Chains A and B, each alone.
Chain A
Amino acid sequence: MRVALFPTCVNDAIHPRTGQAVVALLERLGVEVDFPAAQTCCGQPQYNTGYRRATEPLVHRMADAFAGYDHVVTPSGSCTAMVRDNYPRIGARARAEGRGDGLAKAAESLVPRVLELTEFLVDVLKVTDVGAYYPHRVTYHPSCHGLRMLGLGDRPRRLLEAVEGLELVELPGAEECCGFGGTFAVKNPDVSAAMGADKVSNALSTGAEVLCGADNSCLLHIGGTLRRADAPMRTVHLAEILACTRADPTGADWGAPRARGTA
């Protein structure tokens, strides 16, 4: 099986290891991964801040970049939700404004093929034990978009529970937003910081070493709050945990070149 990877712009620029982990994980599971270089950003920051028209070229770009792939896999619940929930709205609004069908068609072609990583693993590959090894005490923060817009349900938890050596501990108030909210974090910094502080204090109460999530933008905010507090906890993307193995427990070899199709 050949899939396109949409690591997201945040991961491309700031957390490349998450993209590398997805590649390592999927190749280990026998999936051939492509990275269409024409991709950039899904447009979520612009759209959610009130710049709908500015996202339109990006809808076209996403549709074109990923044309021809059955599955587009992305390690971000919020970017998946952007495509799935908002692209059809953007298309419909353009149509209602008398600017033709092009955008709606582009959205329509893309929407059913974009999957969040845990959806792809559990629903398409039908696997929950991915052969990972991660001997740490971990707590999981289910980000809002994955939780409520995508309805990821217990997929991430099932994947984590199957990881060898991993001790999963409950996060109090797990379903509550961490306070990132894209540009909310800078437009309403005090409320955002207050929410982040509460999330961090709940996380620290678990005694876990690692706070795991499936959206690096939330982890950027939580991790930044943790580091500012010099707290004994780090944030790690779910994909990076699933990509760790007994042979490579720290992901040191993810960067290694690998011949295509020989996974």
Chain B
Amino acid sequence: MARINDVGGTQGFGAVDTTDDTEPFHADWEARVFGIWNALRAQGVFNLDEFRDTIESMPPTEYLATSYYERWYLAVVALLERKGVIAPGELDEPGGAR
């Protein structure tokens, strides 16, 4: 069961974008997601392989429709819910994503 992320050697995705883009983030929220991810990993809330596994387990349609750091955000939320750090849907509550 190769997952949607495992597309190495697969044709049909168009040309590879080789733009020399040195900006690590393209929006403030991306940097915040990266920072939150680092803090949670450092605290041992999840490990790198669990994180990768969570991203790879996204439904293919959702995976393909989301940006790189959107996947990071969705995976972090899923892991926090799975680990019981937050309640399911908690970030959807009013003020939850503040």
Genuine A/B complex: no
Binding site for A on B (CB under 8 A): none
